[in-house]
């Protein structure tokens, strides 16, 4: 007998639909075991530092990890996947957006565009990391190339970039400023709520202590979030294509990675590493993604990246359409010389 043909992305999409229905009880439990420890760690850090125990600032890292998990809950709410009621998803997403510095409605629209066009060279721009093809990079001026190289530099991508994105960029509906009042309502409403929450905490503990705690927590969580998003799509054998060859479901399954993290990191990141399954069926709650892999182990090896593998993705920056893979600037220059 010949080898069986692997299921297509379309077939997988139908198979995975059985995991879509969220559990409201599980959702409430997930919020409790994430939000309460975050608040407790924040308060404990403030108490220790206020009494001169500066070692308490070490608690900012676990607090940042819980903030990442809160963002993953907000992310599922954006897909309507966390609870069974749309209004409940939206309001939880808006409330968590104050903690994550992410206007829920505006982010939700940008993220929907990312899912709708992920891997399509003709629909790049919203909610994703800018990626040029080799031909596009070659055609740019020296100044434009320098700007792109700076943008893709690790110190910018994982240092300045996340801080700018969550502290400044999210304060205005950039890219949607002329698309009606809804993006403005989302961003301005979130900004006002952030200001009110910050004012209350500053009144309680003082401006200096507030910044000393909130700033590193936000920056660390933002950096972790951007790193995760980078690894999920910027790996060597990802998939990019032009229309009409581009197919959404194929791009979802084969253009997103399976970032196979150790169990504690999977928990803190809300199983977002199972990104190929998430992109193929975004309505699956994050607490069911590992069950999908247990029930369908053949999905485990599709685009699997370990922690060690992920470190090698940092150098990738250009999509080479002749080889159908991401390449580094060094690869580009070597090819130019050849």
User: Between vectors from CA 115 to CA 264 and to CA 134, what angle results, nearest 5°?
Assistant: 95
Average pLDDT over residues 218-241: 97
Which pLDDT value is given to residue 4?
55
Residue 296 lies in a domain: yes
Residue 167 lies in a domain: yes
Q: Is the pLDDT at 128 greater than 90, yes or no?
A: no
Q: Which of 2-6, 279-283, 295-299 has the lowest mean pLDDT?
A: 2-6
Domains identified in the chain, total number: 1
Q: Which of 55-69, 116-130, 155-169 has the lowest mean pLDDT?
A: 116-130
Compute the distance between CA of residue 253 and CA of residue 1 in angstroms, rounded to an integer. 28
Residue 4 lies in a domain: no
Host domain of residue 205: 9-337
Which pLDDT value is given to residue 269?
98
Q: Is the pLDDT at 3 greater than 70, yes or no?
A: no
Which pLDDT value is given to residue 1?
42
Residue 3 lies in a domain: no
Q: pLDDT above 70 covers what percent of the chain?
A: 98
49-91, pLDDT tens digit by residue?
999 999 999 999 999 999 999 999 999 999 999 999 999 999 9
Compute the distance between CA of residue 288 and CA of residue 92 in angstroms, rounded to an integer. 19
Torsion of CA 265, 270, 272, 277, to 10 degrees: 120
Residue 140 lies in a domain: yes
Cβ atoms of residues 283 and 261 within 8 Å: no
Which pLDDT value is given to residue 2?
46
- Signed CA dihedral, 161, 162, 168, 173: sign only: positive
Residue 1 lies in a domain: no
Residue 85 lies in a domain: yes
- The pairing of strands 258-259 and 304-305 is parallel
């Amino acid at each position: 007998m010949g080898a069986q043909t692997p299921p297509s992305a379309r077939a997988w999409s139908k198979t995975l639909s059985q995991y879509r229905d969220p559990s409201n009880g599980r959702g409430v439990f997930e919020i409790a075991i994430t939000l309460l420890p975050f608040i407790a760690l924040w308060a404990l850090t403030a108490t220790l530092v206020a009494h001169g125990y500066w070692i308490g600032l070490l608690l900012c890292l676990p607090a940042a990890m819980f903030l990442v998990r809160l963002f993953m809950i907000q992310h599922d709410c954006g897909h309507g996947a966390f609870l069974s009621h749309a209004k409940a998803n939206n309001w939880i997403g808006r409330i968590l957006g104050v903690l994550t510095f992410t206007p829920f409605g505006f982010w939700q629209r940008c993220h929907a565009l990312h899912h709708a066009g992920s891997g399509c060279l003709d629909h790049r721009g919203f909610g994703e990391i800018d990626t040029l093809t080799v031909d596009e990079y070659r055609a740019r001026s020296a100044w434009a190339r320098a700007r792109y190289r700076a943008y893709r530099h690790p110190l910018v991508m994982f240092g300045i970039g996340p801080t700018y994105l969550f502290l400044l960029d999210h304060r205005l509906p950039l890219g949607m400023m002329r698309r009606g009042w809804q993006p403005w309502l989302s961003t301005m409403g979130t900004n006002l709520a952030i200001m009110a929450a910050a004012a209350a905490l500053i009144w309680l503990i003082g401006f200096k202590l507030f910044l000393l705690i909130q700033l590193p927590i936000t920056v660390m969580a933002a950096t972790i979030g951007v790193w995760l998003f980078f690894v999920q799509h910027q790996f060597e054998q990802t998939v990019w294509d032009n229309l009409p060859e581009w197919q959404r479901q194929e791009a979802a399954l084969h253009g997103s990675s399976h970032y196979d993290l150790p169990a504690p990191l999977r928990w803190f990141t809300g199983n977002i590493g199972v990104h190929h399954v998430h992109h193929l069926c975004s309505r699956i709650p994050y607490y069911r993604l590992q069950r999908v892999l247990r029930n369908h182990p053949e999905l485990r090896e599709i685009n699997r990246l370990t922690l060690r593998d992920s470190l090698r993705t940092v150098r990738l920056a250009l999509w080479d359409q002749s080889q159908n893979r991401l390449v580094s600037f060094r690869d580009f220059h070597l090819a130019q010389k050849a």
